[in-house]
A = this chain, B = another copy of it.
Amino acid sequence: MNNFEFKNPTKILFGEGQIENLSKEIPKNSKILMLYGGGSIKKNGIYDQVKEALSNYEVVEFGGIPANPEYSVLMKALKLIKNENIDCLLAVGGGSVIDGTKFLSAAALYKGDSPWNLLTDNKPITEGMPFATVLTLPATGSEMNSGAVITREETKEKLAMGGPGLFPVFSILDPQVIRSIPQRQLANGITDAFTHVLEQYMTYPTGALLQDRFAESILQTLVEVAPAILKDPADYNAASNFMWSCTMALNGLIQQGVPGDWAVHAMGHELTALYGIDHARTLAIVGPNHYRYNFESKKVKLAQYAERIWNIVEGTVEEKANIGIEKTEEFFHSLGINTKLSEYTDEYSETGSIVSKRFTDRGWTGLGEHKTLTPSDAEKIIEMSY
């Protein structure tokens, strides 16, 4: 097990009816900017619940944060924060709204020239304006971590930021919100959380027995509840296990003391930036082929995964490992997720070299848990994914 430092101060309020506790958590006299996305919260009743819970506060609203939160849109919200003397941010949405809110939390206190530097500086963010979240779409884990990914259409970039100053003060997780989520987004959420776990688990054995089992616990639970969630998103018990699994998949816990891969995300982000493919689907496109390409270094963990998640107890390490990859792909297919790039775009024939060049231009020489995956390797993995 590797040395680690772990701290996660976010308070979680989990369960039905927790939205009404918003006013217990937000200091009196706060001036709140409520941020949300395309307006689905106005149809499913969450907007009304939040507004009612905040009836004793001064609340300014900023809607329209798109999936893959866009820098130019967020810059408008930043202007509002400054003009209205906002002192507290409340994200009501999924990972995109929460990530956008994290950027705003940091940008609101940023003293430098351009807030874009927060994404290019590669420095941990140590302070931000206090913010909280009401999660409406389980998937990214952003509600209980300190990371964010921001997109800039102008330059076709999608970059990450984070640091100890960017944990939500609290997050409200009411599994009832899942009732009104479209199938497509539910499938994305399951795929996203599943891949988050794999990025922290599918590396090489380091003797971190407990972390491995925690990771496997999340994978097993996602596999168990996925059919129930897709069949009936109003199944409260399935929804609550799904929601808590997504949070636990990326709140830092299972990453402690073990290597992380994250090359699947790095490649996936490029596919979203280039073609606008849903984030989760890019992970399903790249992930299995990443494991095929890096088979030798990952086969021991792949075999353990095949055994513990898919009950593949017969065969050699290599045989089990291969079945593990196939089962992963089958699982994504069972959710209605396509796993070939050509199923999403006709303009794929140069994608491998385009991504390779973008990695090289950004100075990225080695990704993955060994920091040895080169832009040329990424090119081949993406070509395997056409």
Report Cα–Cα, A313/B2, bound state, in Å. 35
- At the interface, yes or no: A8 with Cβ under 8 Å from chain B? yes
Whether A14 contacts B18 by the Cβ 8 Å rule is no
Whether B209 contacts A241 by the Cβ 8 Å rule is yes
8 Å CB interface, A215-262 against B: 216-218, 220-221, 224-225, 237, 240-241, 244-245, 248, 253, 256-257
| CB < 8 Å neighbour of A9 from B7, B207, B218 | B7
Report Cα–Cα, A4/B240, bound state, in Å. 11
Report Cα–Cα, A14/B10, bound state, in Å. 20
Whether A6 contacts B12 by the Cβ 8 Å rule is yes
Which residues from chain B contact A216 at a C-beta distance below 8 Å?
213, 217
8 Å CB interface, A1-48 against B: 1-18
| CB < 8 Å neighbour of A221 from B175, B213, B244 | B213
Whether A221 contacts B225 by the Cβ 8 Å rule is no
Which residues from chain B contact A4 at a C-beta distance below 8 Å?
12, 14-15
Whether A1 contacts B237 by the Cβ 8 Å rule is yes
- At the interface, yes or no: A208 with Cβ under 8 Å from chain B? yes
Distance (whole angstroms) from the CB of A313 to the closest CB of chain B? 12
Whether B1 contacts A208 by the Cβ 8 Å rule is no
- At the interface, yes or no: A310 with Cβ under 8 Å from chain B? no
Which residues from chain B contact A5 at a C-beta distance below 8 Å?
11-14
Q: How many copies of this protein are present in the complex? A: 2
Whether A7 contacts B11 by the Cβ 8 Å rule is yes
* Smallest CB gap from A21: residue in B: B5
- Count residues of chain A with CB under 8 A from any CB of chain B: 43
Whether B6 contacts A14 by the Cβ 8 Å rule is yes
Distance (whole angstroms) from the CB of A356 to the closest CB of chain B? 36
Which residues from chain B contact A15 at a C-beta distance below 8 Å?
1-4, 257
Write the A192-223 contact mask toward B (1 if CB under 8 angstroms, else 0). Answer: 00000000000000011111011011101100
Distance (whole angstroms) from the CB of A178 to the closest CB of chain B? 13
Report Cα–Cα, A7/B7, bound state, in Å. 11
Whether A240 contacts B217 by the Cβ 8 Å rule is no
| CB < 8 Å neighbour of A7 from B12, B209, B224, B245 | B12
Whether B9 contacts A9 by the Cβ 8 Å rule is yes
| In the complex with contacts A213-B221, A218-B210, A257-B244, A3-B14 CB distance below 8 A | yes
Which residues from chain B contact A253 at a C-beta distance below 8 Å?
253
Which residues from chain B contact A248 at a C-beta distance below 8 Å?
210
* Smallest CB gap from A212: residue in B: B217
Distance (whole angstroms) from the CB of A32 to the closest CB of chain B? 21
Report Cα–Cα, A268/B295, bound state, in Å. 51
Distance (whole angstroms) from the CB of A163 to the closest CB of chain B? 14
Which residues from chain B contact A14 at a C-beta distance below 8 Å?
1, 3-6, 256-257
Which residues from chain B contact A6 at a C-beta distance below 8 Å?
11-12, 14
Report Cα–Cα, A218/B216, bound state, in Å. 12
